[in-house]
Amino acid sequence: MSKPSAKLPLLISLGLVILGLILGATGGFASGSILGGIIAGAGVIPAAWGAWAGMQGETQAGLAGAISMVLLSLGAGGLLIVLGIIDWIR
């Protein structure tokens, strides 16, 4: 039985983070940042799948990349949401 690859989920996660950042930058401050933050934060889901695939494949590179993408997704998503809420309050 072949072991799952962590590459595709990591690329999907990176794509969601980039899409979230683009939406946060171009979609207006409050609404765009919050929507972009949600989309960027959703990158955690494929990154977590990539972490599972990295564990199944017993590769440290796949697991390290997945953990990095989890942190990047949470950081970018959280930052965009906080900036959107701050702008919404002002």
**pLDDT of 87 strictly over 90:** no
For position 29, what pLDDT does the model report? 57
How much is the pTM? Answer: 0.87
Using CA atoms, how far apart are residues 77 and 5, in angstroms rounded to an integer?
Answer: 25
- 34-43 residue pLDDT tens: 889 999 999 9
**pLDDT of 1 strictly over 60:** no
Q: Are 3 and 57 in contact (CB under 8 A)?
A: yes
